């Protein structure tokens, strides 16, 4: 047994020894175990760290989300502010008069063609669309454009107009054949006012923009415009791939909405931050607004060129800039060019880079053809067409700086608050054809006179409608694009003999007659300062007494002064004031020969009353002003006021007709034959100023020719101003003057020997218009003839 015990004891001892060693070893390695415990966290520690990181992450995400949301609210506020109000500060559009059409209108076929050409209507074989017309021997087929007139919008109107020799005979609806009693053509665009921030645009509603333009833009710039939410990831990926292959930026991935966001709110710098803002704003815009509203905004905002210092924005203005016509009238190749220019207005400038622009245009046309919106036949025809550009800077409207200057002044006087409204439309009285004819006439005559006057002559013209006072044309310089000194409004010169009709009108009002005799002998007038004034006739010749009507026709100075002094200078001045004179003038005797200084426009106002049958009507250029919503801000409306008798006015117009038949303006007889006109020449001292005022049935024309330095111009009224008037009449189709005849008017013979009423056959006499009471005074001549006959019979029988 003992051996077993002895054997078991060593085993226990030996088992404990390694344990002791292990304990010792553990005691030696204990510091390392602590080090490992510090470097390697426990499971609980790991869980705690993850919780902290998760907490921090969702807090950062929440803060970021809140910041992005807050940023989005801020951007959305800016977007809503821009879209809810007026997106742009639109300039005021100034239009000329609208041509009224009705059967019986004195209008030739050629005149209407001239009007349509001026309005940039296209001449075609068959008029199908607005802005087109076709011509046959006696008819014109025209499709009038849709237009927002002063009294409301009128749609397109297809018309067939039939002409007689000199009049419009009939107007019919082209499709239904129904006769039209009266209609009108859209007016020509003259100017845009109040252009701010070097930006210019002409707003066009989406409904008035051609469908092919909208299709071309979407197919070329943003094919999936109606599918994406403002940002197209497909377009971005495609652009990145193309740019990587090219090694440079050759294609952008921006949608139309992104481009609009950039144009409205951001700069053009190419940075990642701008692209992020652009994309975010595009998403907000697409979320809040319809695709059509976005497209309309883009088409009116997109930059399309540079006109001098003003940027051309929107397809509406770009259409005038490049082609001189409304966007609704553009052909498919013109539409393609506009869309082509969107990519880079400077790079594809069609005036500077014609080949480049043509290639880009043809690419757009090919895209349309591939999409099926353009047939193969029309595609081939379109690519063969030239670019069809208008003259750069012409904008497709008639430049009338002198007239527009008058419009600005009238707006300031009658509608000074027009700048507070957006998209104002100003409807004026300007007749574009009259303006063009007047400018051409002035240039042609002055170019002839330059040969002897060394190009130192200038001119001004004012043309008004006789029965209304509406300004049909106004020229402030011989140069049509002269924006400087407006001589028609601001050049004040002595009016010379143009004062004489008002002297004789005063006499007729006081009971004098056209047939009475006036002394034509030397005259000396004692002035208030003690000096003596001795007026003289132009030819320095005197004669026997002359009839009043001849004194005016031949523009004799001395008889005029004698008559004026008899009437009283104050009386003549009062007549001038009744005619519309607002300038202060002193009643000196020299006033009777035109020492009064007036501008052509001021003088035109005086003759407007005289030529308008004695009724005062203020001259005006602005007919109506509407705000952007069509509300009337101002409308010209003045009742005519009679200033002197119909009898006296008829007599003075008759006397002025003798000026053109046998007086100082008698050259009009061969210059403008078969037309009865009234007028008056005017020449000032030392031949400084040449004046002429002419009156026909429709118009009163005032012409001045002279030098800006007021030195002698060596021209008379009949050698400079009258030829300008005659040149204008040759292209403006004048009508014979038919002045209003008063009820008590009679035609009376006045004896040449004493200027008293007589009868035909009772000696030499002149038949003149006079009050009926003057005819009764002719009985004395009958009695005298009877006595002579009785004496002769008695001598015969005796």
* Residues forming the active site: 221, 497
d(CA 598, CA 681): 16
Q: Which two tokens stand for residue 370?
A: 């591939």
- Residues making up the chain, counted from first to last: 798
Residue 693 β-bridge partners: 680, 702
Exposure pattern of 706-728 as b/e (b: 16+ CB <10 Å)?
bbeeeeebbbbbbbbbbbbbbbb
Query: Do residues 101 and 183 make contact, with C-beta atoms less than 8 angstroms apart?
Result: yes
Q: Do β-strands 139-144 and 157-163 pair in parallel, antiparallel, or remain unpaired? A: antiparallel
Q: For 663-748, where are the alpha helices, taking DSSP H only?
A: 668-671, 722-732
Q: For 200-232, where are the alpha helices, taking DSSP H only?
A: 211-221
Question: What are the backbone dihedrals phi and psi of residue 594, each rounded to the nearest 5 degrees, phi first?
Answer: 85, 35
d(CA 138, CA 322): 34
Nearby residues of 372 by Cβ (< 8 Å), 6 or more positions away? none
Count CB atoms within 10 A of the CB of residue 318. 25
Listed as own residue / partner, the contacts of 664-671 with beta carbons closer than 8 Å and 24 or more positions apart are: 664/553, 664/554, 664/555, 664/717, 664/718, 665/692, 665/694, 665/717, 665/718, 665/722, 667/718, 667/722, 667/726, 668/694, 668/722, 668/726, 671/723, 671/726, 671/729, 671/730
Query: Do residues 294 and 285 make contact, with C-beta atoms less than 8 angstroms apart?
Result: yes
The H-or-E segment that residue 17 falls in is: helix 2-39
Residue 148 β-bridge partners: 153
d(CA 614, CA 578): 10
d(CA 272, CA 287): 23
CA 707 to chain centre: 29
Count CB atoms within 10 A of the CB of residue 792. 9
Q: Quick one: residue 393, left, alpha or beta (phi over 0 = left, psi -120 to 50 = alpha)?
A: left
Distances (CA, A) of 702 to 462, 465, 695: 5, 12, 9
Could you tell me what percentage of the chain is helix, strand and coil, using 3-state DSSP and rounding each to the nearest 5? 45, 20, 35
């Amino acid at each position: 047994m003992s051996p077993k015990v002895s054997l078991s004891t060593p085993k226990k001892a030996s088992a404990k020894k390694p344990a002791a060693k292990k304990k010792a070893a553990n005691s030696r390695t204990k510091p390392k175990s602590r080090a490992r415990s510090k470097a390697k966290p426990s499971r609980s520690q790991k869980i705690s760290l993850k919780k902290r990181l998760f907490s921090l992450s969702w807090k950062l995400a929440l803060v970021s989300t809140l910041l992005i949301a807050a940023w989005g609210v801020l951007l959305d506020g800016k977007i809503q502010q821009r879209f809810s109000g007026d997106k742009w500060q639109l300039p005021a559009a100034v239009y000329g008069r609208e041509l009224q059409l009705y059967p019986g209108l004195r209008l030739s076929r050629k005149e209407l063609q001239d009007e349509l050409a001026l309005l940039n209507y296209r001449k075609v074989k068959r008029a199908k669309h607005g802005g087109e017309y076709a011509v046959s021997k006696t008819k014109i087929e025209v499709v009038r454009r849709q237009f927002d007139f002063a009294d409301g919008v009128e749609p397109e109107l297809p018309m067939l107009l039939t002409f007689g020799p000199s009049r419009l005979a009939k107007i019919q609806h082209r499709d239904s054949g129904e006769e039209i009693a009266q209609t009108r053509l859209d007016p020509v665009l003259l100017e845009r006012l109040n252009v701010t921030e070097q930006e210019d645009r002409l707003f066009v509603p989406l409904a008035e923009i051609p469908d092919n333009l909208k299709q071309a833009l979407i197919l070329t710039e943003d094919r999936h415009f109606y599918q994406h939410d403002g940002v197209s990831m497909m377009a971005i990926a495609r652009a990145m791939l193309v740019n990587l292959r090219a090694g440079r930026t050759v294609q952008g991935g921006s949608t139309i909405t992104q481009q609009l966001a950039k144009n409205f709110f951001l700069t053009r710098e190419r940075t990642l931050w701008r692209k992020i803002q652009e994309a975010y704003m595009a998403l907000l815009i697409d979320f809040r607004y319809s695709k059509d509203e976005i497209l309309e905004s883009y088409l009116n905002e997109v930059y399309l060129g540079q006109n001098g210092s003003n940027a051309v924005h929107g397809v509406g203005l770009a259409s005038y800039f490049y082609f001189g016509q409304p966007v609704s009238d553009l052909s498919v190749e013109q539409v393609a060019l506009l869309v082509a220019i969107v990519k880079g207005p400077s790079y594809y400038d069609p005036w500077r880079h014609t080949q480049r622009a043509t290639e880009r245009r043809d690419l757009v046309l090919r895209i349309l053809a591939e999409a099926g919106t353009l047939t193969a036949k029309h595609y081939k025809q379109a690519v063969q067409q030239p670019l069809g550009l208008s003259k750069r800077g012409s904008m497709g409207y008639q430049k009338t700086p002198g007239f527009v200057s008058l419009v600005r002044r009238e707006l300031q006087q009658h509608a000074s608050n027009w700048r507070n409204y957006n998209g104002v439309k100003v409807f004026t009285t300007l007749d574009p054809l009259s303006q063009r004819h007047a400018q051409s006439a002035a240039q042609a005559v002055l170019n002839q006179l330059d040969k002897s006057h060394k190009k130192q002559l200038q001119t001004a013209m004012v043309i008004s409608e006789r029965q209304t006072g509406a300004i049909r044309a106004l020229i402030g310089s011989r140069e049509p694009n002269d924006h400087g000194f407006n001589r028609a409004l601001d050049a004040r010169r002595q009016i010379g003999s143009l004062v004489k009709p008002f002297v004789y009108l005063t006499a007729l009002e006081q009971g004098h007659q056209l047939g009475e005799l006036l002394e034509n002998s030397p005259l000396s007038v004692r002035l208030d300062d003690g000096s003596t004034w001795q007026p003289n006739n132009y030819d320095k010749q005197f004669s026997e007494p002359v009839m009043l009507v001849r004194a005016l026709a031949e523009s004799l100075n001395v008889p005029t002064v004698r008559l004026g002094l008899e009437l009283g200078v104050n009386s003549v001045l009062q007549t001038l004031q009744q005619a519309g004179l607002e300038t202060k003038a002193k009643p000196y005797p020299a006033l009777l020969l035109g020492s009064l200084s007036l501008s052509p426009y001021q003088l035109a106002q005086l003759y407007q009353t005289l030529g308008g049958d004695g009724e005062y009507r203020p001259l005006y250029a602005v007919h109506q002003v509407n705000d952007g919503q069509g509300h009337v801000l101002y409308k010209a409306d003045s009742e005519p006021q009679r200033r002197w008798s119909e009898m006296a006015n008829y007599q003075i117009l008759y006397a002025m007709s003798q000026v053109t038949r046998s007086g100082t303006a008698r050259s009009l007889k061969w210059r403008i034959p078969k037309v009865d006109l009234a007028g008056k020449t005017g020449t000032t001292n030392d031949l400084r100023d040449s004046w002429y005022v002419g009156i026909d049935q429709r118009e009163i024309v005032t012409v001045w020719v002279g030098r800006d330095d007021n030195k002698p111009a060596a021209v008379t009224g009949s050698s400079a101003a009258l030829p300008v008037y005659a040149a204008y009449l040759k292209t403006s189709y004048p009508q014979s003057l038919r002045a209003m005849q008063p009820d008590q008017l009679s035609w009376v013979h006045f004896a040449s020997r004493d200027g008293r009423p007589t009868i035909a056959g009772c000696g030499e006499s002149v038949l003149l218009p006079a009050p009926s009471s003057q005819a009764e005074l002719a009985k004395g001549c009958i009695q005298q003839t009877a006595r002579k006959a009785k004496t002769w019979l008695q001598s015969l029988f005796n």
